[in-house]
């Protein structure tokens, strides 16, 4: 039973999902980002390739001119390499920034706006040999190995298909001008990136579905975890039960203290007892002072007798009051007439008793 209790069979709660989101654990596919970067790189190279090639050629020519126009001392060589390096970085930096922006644009929707430093926070548990061995030999490692092999075969196939028919163009590169050389290279590189990007996109579709399934499986909870979370969220049921029991005890003691102020106690006669008080200056209808069954009813009747509160046996009315009335509230409107008859009877009997005591006759 204990082992079955630890099985992850329960659907994750909303708190479990929120905790995973706060920790930065969300389903995402690296292959999806790679595919869009490859496709975006192909489009950028196709659109901005001529401009990029022209700037690189200009840098190359300027470097050759600078090398032949002045004595190339060690200081001059260092200065030339530094200048050419910065210029090359400026040209290629624009290309790199564009690809970086594309990667962020693709990774952003996958991240669903989640920003968390938890994945890069140092964690000593990651150094555990047992955990690392389990991770290396686990099912996820096997899946990653299969993915790597598929990607390797895919890249080889893409290179073979894309560049297989380009050997004639490559052999003719020596006869072309630098501009023609760059155009041929651009055409085949764009084709290579586009083909690889589409192939990676197909892998990414399956990989993203796998990541979503694996994420949902990792969030599943055991019954014991669900119970523990309910205790943390809503409080321990035992503590809540004790609080309710303590509250009922306080209410019962207060109820017993209010019985001497009642005007009448309506009984079943033995199993039910309801104490009523009528004060037209405080409420337009009688208020239930105390109510109980069995032992509580016996206690109510004993306190009423001790303090001279009359007890009237009326089984239908007692049952109706117990079923619909609440302690501290006015009686329901549908019982006004029945309770009024009881109070009228008590009032007439009280008046008759006072007349007898004073010797006044009707």
Q: What is the SS3 string spanning the chain? A: CHHHHCCCCECCCHHHHHHHHHCCCCCCCHHHHHHHHHHHHHHHHHHHHHHHHHHHHHHHHHHHHHHHHCCCCHHHHHHHHHHHHHHHHHHHHHHHHHHHHHHHHHHHHHHCCCCCCHHHCCCHHHHCHHHHHHHHHCHHHHHHHHHHHHHHHHHHHHHHHHHHCCHHHHHHHHHCCHHHHHHHHHHHHHHHHHHHHHHHHHHHHHHHHHHHHHHHHHHCECHHHHHHHHHHHHCCHHHHHHHHHHHHHHHHHHHHHHHHHCCEEEECCCCEEEEEECCCCCCCCCEEEEEEECHHHHHHHHHHHHCCCCEEECHHHHHHHHHHCCCCCECCHHHHHHHHHHHHHHHHHHHHHHHHHHCCCC
Look at residues 210, 232, 254 and tell me which one is the last residue of a structural domain.
Answer: 232
One domain for residues 323 and 263:
yes
* Angle of helix 295-306 versus helix 237-258 axis, rounded to 10: 30
Q: Which pair of structure tokens corresponds to residue 256?
A: 């017993």
207 and 258 assigned to the same domain = no
208 and 328 both lie in a single domain? no
Q: Is residue 81 part of a domain?
A: yes
Q: Environment class of residue 272 by beta-carbon count within 10 Å: exposed (0-12), middle (13-18) or buried (19+)?
A: buried
Please identify every stretch of the chain with a pLDDT value under 50, giving residue numbers as ranges: 1-5, 362
Q: Which of 199, 232, 265 is the last residue of a domain?
A: 232
The verdict on 53 and 170 lying in the same domain is yes
Strand 264-267 relative to strand 311-313: parallel, antiparallel, unpaired? parallel
Is 124 a domain residue? no
Residues 252 and 198 in one domain: no
- Is residue 16 in some structural domain? yes
Is 0.75 topped by the overall pTM?
no
- 244 and 190, same domain (yes or no): no
Radius of gyration of the chain (CA): 44
Residue 119 belongs to some domain of the structure: no
- For position 48, what pLDDT does the model report? 74
Structure tokens at 203: 């892998």
pLDDT, residue 338, reads 87
Domain count, the chain: 2
pLDDT at 292: 85
Query: Are the CB atoms for 143 and 149 separated by under 8 Å?
Result: no
- pLDDT at residue number 1: 40
pLDDT value, residue 4: 44
Q: Which two tokens stand for residue 344?
A: 């009228």
Structural domain of 175:
2-113+129-232
Q: Is 118 part of a structural domain of the chain?
A: no
Residue 216 belongs to a domain: yes
Closest CA to 56 of 235, 223, 212, 183: 183
CA 332 to CA 324: how far, in whole Å? Answer: 7
Quote the pLDDT of residue 50. 73
Please enumerate, as own/partner, the contacts of 182-185 that have beta carbons within 8 Å and a separation of 24 or more. 182/49, 182/53, 182/56, 182/57, 183/50, 183/53
Which of residues 232, 264, 279 is at a domain's end? 232
Residue 123: inside a domain = no
- Whether residue 222 is found in the same domain as residue 315: no
Q: Do 21 and 48 fall into the same domain?
A: yes
Q: How far apart are CA 356 and CA 350, in angstroms?
A: 10
Q: Compute the distance between CA of residue 204 and CA of residue 106 in angstroms, rounded to an integer.
A: 12
pLDDT at 228: 77
At 331 the pLDDT is 86
Q: Are residues 180 and 274 in the same domain?
A: no
Q: What is the rounded distance in angstroms from the CA atom of residue 205 to the CA atom of residue 8?
A: 27
Q: What is the CATH number of the domain that holds 324?
A: 3.40.1690.10
Residue with tokens 């975006």: 40
Considering the domain architecture, whether residues 218 and 244 belong to the same structural domain is answered as no
Are 292 and 227 in a shared domain? no
Whether residues 214 and 269 fall in one domain: no
Q: How far apart are CA 253 and CA 57, in angstroms?
A: 97
Res 332: pLDDT: 87
Is 333 domain-assigned? yes
Q: Which long-range contacts (CB under 8 A, 24 or more apart) does 163-167 make?
A: 163/188, 163/192
């Amino acid at each position: 039973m204990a082992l079955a209790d630890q099985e992850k069979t329960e659907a994750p709660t909303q708190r479990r999902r929120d905790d995973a989101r706060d920790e930065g654990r969300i389903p995402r596919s690296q292959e999806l980002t790679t595919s869009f970067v490859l496709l975006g790189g192909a489009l950028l190279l196709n659109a901005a390739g001529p401009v990029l090639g022209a700037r690189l050629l200009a840098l190359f020519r300027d470097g050759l001119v600078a090398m032949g126009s002045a004595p190339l001392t060690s200081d001059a060589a260092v200065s030339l390499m530094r200048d050419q390096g910065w210029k090359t970085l400026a040209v290629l930096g624009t290309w790199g920034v564009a690809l970086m922006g594309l990667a962020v644009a693709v990774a952003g929707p996958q991240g669903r706006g989640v920003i968390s430093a938890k994945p890069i926070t140092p964690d000593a548990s990651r150094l555990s040999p047992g955990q690392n061995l389990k991770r290396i030999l686990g099912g996820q490692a096997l899946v990653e190995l299969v993915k790597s092999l598929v990607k390797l075969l895919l890249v080889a196939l893409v290179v073979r298909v894309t560049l297989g028919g380009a050997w004639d163009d490559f052999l003719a590169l020596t006869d072309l001008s630098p501009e023609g050389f760059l155009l041929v290279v651009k055409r085949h590189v764009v084709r290579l990136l586009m083909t690889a990007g589409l192939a990676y996109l197909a892998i990414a579709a399956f990989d993203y579905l796998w990541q979503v399934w694996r994420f949902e499986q990792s969030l599943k909870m055991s019954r014991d975890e669900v119970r523990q979370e309910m205790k943390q969220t809503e409080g321990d049921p035992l503590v809540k039960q004790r609080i309710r029991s303590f509250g009922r005890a306080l209410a019962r003691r207060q109820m017993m203290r209010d019985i001497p102020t009642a005007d009448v106690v309506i009984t079943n006669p033995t199993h039910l007892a309801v104490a009523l008080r009528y004060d037209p200056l405080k409420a337009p209808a009688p208020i239930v002072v105390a109510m109980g069954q069995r032992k509580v009813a016996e206690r109510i009747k004993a306190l009423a007798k001790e303090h001279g509160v009359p007890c009237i046996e009326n089984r239908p009315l007692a049952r109706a009051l117990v079923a619909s009335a609440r302690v501290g509230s006015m009686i329901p409107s549908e019982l006004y007439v029945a309770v009024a008859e009881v109070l009228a009877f008590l009032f007439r009997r009280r008046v008759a008793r006072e007349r007898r005591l004073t010797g006044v006759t009707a």
